[in-house]
Amino acid sequence: MRLSGFEKRKAKKTSAGEQQRLALARAFLLDSRILLLDEPTANLDPNSAAIIEKAIVSRKSPERIIVMSTHNLSQARRIADEIVHIYNGSIVEAAKTEDFFENPKNEIPRRFVNGELEF
């Protein structure tokens, strides 16, 4: 998580990216079988986002389920094994990542992937 040297710093004195990495590190320490992440890289600089993505990918395993919400299509394509697209509170499509991006079965995900869907 690139937090070496932070042991004596107060969390409130760190940047938003450092705080997010610290929060994720604490969640990883629990070593839970299921990890729920809500927009873990939202509002972070690209370097902090890349550190967090790498940490998430390194924790992926058949024994661990990682559920992550994101509006970032590039991020979802890079790190997800499966995509569940929720629109207006309902699941409109669930598919393997490649299938979701290459051949969406429903109109709403197709429009979303193509950048045609307005919120």
H or E segment and range at residue 69: strand 65-69
The structural domains of the chain, with segments of one domain joined by +, span 12-72, 81-119
pLDDT at 116 over 70: yes
The reported pLDDT for the residue numbered 22 is 83
Cβ(24)–Cβ(40) under 8 Å?
A: yes
The reported pLDDT for the residue numbered 67 is 95
The pLDDT-based confidence of 1 (bands split at 50, 70, 90) is: low
The vertex-38 CA angle with 45 and 119, nearest 5°, equals 85
Residues 31-90 have pLDDT tens digits of 899 999 999 999 888 988 999 999 999 999 999 999 999 989 999 999 999 999 999 999
pLDDT at 104 over 70: yes
Q: What CATH number was assigned to the domain covering residues 12-72?
A: 3.40.50.300
Q: What do you get for the CA distance between the two ends of the chain, in Å?
A: 33
